[in-house]
Amino acid sequence: MATPRRSRRPDNPSLARSFVARRLQLGLTQSELALLAGVGRSTVQAVEGGKDSAQIDGVQAIADALGCDLVLMTRAGTVVDGRNP
């Protein structure tokens, strides 16, 4: 039997910190990053603030603009490779 999802997922401060660090490394403002990613500044703010309301397509667009890849990993630390089903 499947385990029910928690009613509220915890925020992901690690991802948020990584996005902020990379943006600052590139010398970009939130507005500049939003323009490069093709998203609104509020999306950048939500991702950098660790909000769980950010849409995955916005997160992906920001990662692309930062020159980063998003990687799916199990809690045990194994990378899930979706290229070879």
Alpha-carbon distance 13 to 2, whole Å?
27
**What is the arithmetic mean of pLDDT over 31-55?**
94
Which has the closest alpha carbon to 48: 68, 23, 27? 23
Residue that is written with structure tokens 């950010």 in the block: 54
pLDDT of 30 above 50: yes
Which has the closest alpha carbon to 19: 66, 55, 71? 66
Say which amino acid occupies 26: L
pTM: 0.77
Give the pLDDT confidence of 5-23 residue by residue, as tens digits.
554 544 567 889 999 999 9
Domain ranges (residues) in the chain: 13-65
Indicate the CATH number of 13-65 among 3.40.710.10, 1.10.260.40, 1.10.569.10, 3.30.450.150: 1.10.260.40
Give the pLDDT confidence of 52-82 residue by residue, as tens digits.
878 999 999 999 999 999 988 898 999 998 7
63, two tokens: 């990662």
pLDDT band at 39 (very low <50, low <70, confident <90, very high): very high
